[in-house]
A and B are shown apart, each in its own frame.
Chain A
């Protein structure tokens, strides 16, 4: 399977009379763009705001991030979501690099939403401070969940996917600055030199723990709660086969942008044919009951073994309860003779003294740690807020609170905030960008 990713490096994003891309500048006709987003009648209030790296701007509540892309052959960027079902992972794809479309609540936040600081001390806590963010700031008519802590955020998230594709159209006919090629030959049809190398799979555990449909990550538009692990080509992940959901505390989340650029897949590609034979991705999920967790671990171990994998990297979109799926899966692989490395974050508490993962197993003897979800973070006021700052305190974001005897509210009168890392948008970068680790003190 061969995927060609044509990259256009965006240096600036502006509003103008016309929506087009030229020489690194993406210009957006704001009125037309807003009319496009308003085609979904559930969007009842809307603004479009551009946030740039280094600005003293705070964005909250952020629900989703998507890289603007288009497929020149007319297939949907997110098959089964923004258009018809077609196989992803092959052919040509054009991407606007260095920017993302954010779905932001104009007022209302929910458990899995996060915060992004574009500048200052807070910028280091999330990768998204380094991107030019085109923010869809919206309010919706989803009254049934208005005051719920858990929200599906369907309208805003879908708007982000569709608008990312809308912006991608600007580079449909253009020649990219660079073309990256992602190609894996069929597992049984690889040259001898590659086949001789240790075979490796990537096991991904996207978030799918909500029994009610509509909150979970989707694979080709299918809710991953009703799913058992299967074998996928990594190009499918890079090419929009998966989209993010609306449930996991934000710092542990994989946004759709994360899936589209999944750094651990890219890293495995770099070593493919040199030090490893990258077989592909075993796409698993995360579950609630122990029986479901075990079933998925069994599927993963069997697929890995049948494929002849010598090694596996396992990575989970979550912390807490999902640690059980993560550790079970690592242990199940080790039990069938597949050597594992795990990549995830930890939850050691505000004082750092708690057990780092919910379950532990000595078989998980090679782990990479990407951060502590419960680290307390204090940040000064920002000059500008995109969205609504009170959402962090009022709406039950996983790292915010309305009242605490000692710490007060997460949002102070002067606009400064105190929060847990939990609410940093994709803050632990479990997809693999994290330059954080955990150390003993």
Chain B
């Protein structure tokens, strides 16, 4: 019989609510809470349930992940299922975080379920199958069933369908499929045009997302008085990475005082960006974050003032939503400090 391990939070384990959200990870043999429902519809056995407090996972992520991966080292399992997390934000992010780590370490299929409002969807939908779930625990059985149906196909080696057919959030993967006895492209095209001409509903086979274009800013008229700041998505940070910015899929940013530096020294700064070969940037961080050139220009009087901090995060795999949030936070700080212009460097 195929084996599954299930991840749930402290609330669904019956340990407690908000006041017990710091609950440390534990593993129990057998079924706890939602695992019962899962086990009853799975063509396999849920052998263990992992329980972790949402706050613990949120604020001690590294430790939580390490502990849980440790629990799993000596276990045999064919699939890892987390949640469903419904609309609970921290629970959703926890499910995504641990499922991603399990997939990377043990290379087994991982599934979870969340409501579309859950921020975990945007953060993790490209990394795993996240099924479209209800808003609250009233939908527990339905959500578990949808995940289990898909899990059963995976466990039996059966063919699985598209995101729409199976009910998961599209992962940004598009593949060709043959329409069973389907109309040819010409017929589909002509039918679509007739509907469009008659203002009837139609479904485009390639939906194009709205682009959020930012207007180009007006130029700074007098550079000699301008206060210029440096920002990078190239992951340049002090070597101890004090803000614990992630090497990929970043959700955090940091700012570092360069008022007393003529250049960024190797060994003092480095890159933690996982999307390129770090050798050159570690040997000379100025190739990504050009503090040296800016200080030289400052001495030449090309511009008025170099802002005392540079700002840094990592661009690789970072979702648009997270990037937008971080951008807004950084802009607020820049405004407080009367920064007039920004030079932004990538990798």
Q: Report which A residues bind B (CB closer than 8 A).
A: 124, 198, 200, 263-264, 266-268, 270-271, 275-276, 310-313, 315, 339-343, 346, 348, 351-353, 356-357, 360-362, 364-372, 375, 421, 429-441
Contact = CB atoms under 8 A, between A and B. Distances in A.
19 contacts: A264-B189, A267-B190, A276-B190, A311-B196, A313-B189, A313-B190, A341-B189, A341-B196, A342-B189, A360-B211, A367-B208, A368-B188, A369-B205, A432-B185, A433-B186, A438-B175, A440-B162, A441-B170, A441-B171
B208 A372 contact: no
B189 A432 contact: yes
B19 interface: no
A371 B176 contact: yes
Contacts of A340: 193
B279 interface: no
A435 B178 contact: yes
Contacts of B171: 440-441
A242 B183 CA distance: 26
B215 to A, nearest CB: 17
A378 B228 CA distance: 55
Contacts of B300: none
B179 interface: yes
Contacts of B206: 346, 356-357, 367, 369, 438
Interface in B201-250: 202, 204-206, 208-211
Nearest to B169: A440
Contacts of B277: none
Given A267-B190, A339-B197, A441 B204 contact: no
Q: 8 nearest interchain CB pairs?
A: A432-B186, A440-B170, A439-B162, A352-B173, A267-B186, A367-B206, A264-B186, A263-B186
A441 B171 CA distance: 6
Contacts of B1: none
Contacts of A200: 193, 197
A375 B211 CA distance: 27
A124 to B, nearest CB: 7
B172 A421 contact: no
Of B170, B190, B210, most A-chain CB atoms within 10 Å: B190
A431 B188 CA distance: 12
Interface residues of B, number: 37
B205 to A, nearest CB: 4
Contacts of A375: 175-176
Contact of B178 (A271, A276, A351, A436): A436
Contacts of A341: 189-190, 192-193, 196
A110 to B, nearest CB: 25
B210 A439 contact: no
B185 A434 contact: yes
A311 B191 CA distance: 12
A367 B164 contact: no
Given A263-B184, A356-B206, A276 B189 contact: no
Contacts of B183: 435
Contacts of B335: none
Interface in B6-28: none
A266 B186 contact: yes
Contacts of A366: 192-193, 196, 202, 204
A435 B179 contact: yes
Contacts of A267: 184, 186-187, 189-190
Given A339-B193, A369-B205, A437-B205, 17 more contacts: A198-B198, A200-B193, A263-B184, A313-B189, A315-B189, A341-B190, A341-B193, A346-B206, A360-B208, A372-B176, A432-B186, A435-B182, A435-B183, A437-B177, A440-B164, A440-B172, A441-B173
A311 B193 contact: yes
Interface string B66-107: 000000000000000000000000000000000000000000
A5 B186 CA distance: 20
A39 B42 CA distance: 71
Given A365-B204, A366-B192, A436 B186 contact: no
Contacts of B197: 198, 200, 276, 310-311, 339
Contacts of A342: 189
Contacts of A266: 186
A353 B185 contact: no
Contact of A343 (B176, B189, B196, B211): B189
A341 B176 CA distance: 19
Nearest to A364: B208
Contacts of B126: 353
B174 interface: yes
Contacts of A438: 174-177, 205-206
B194 interface: yes
A441 B182 CA distance: 19
A300 to B, nearest CB: 16
A361 B208 contact: yes
B179 A432 contact: no
A266 B185 CA distance: 12
Contacts of B190: 264, 267-268, 270-271, 276, 313, 341
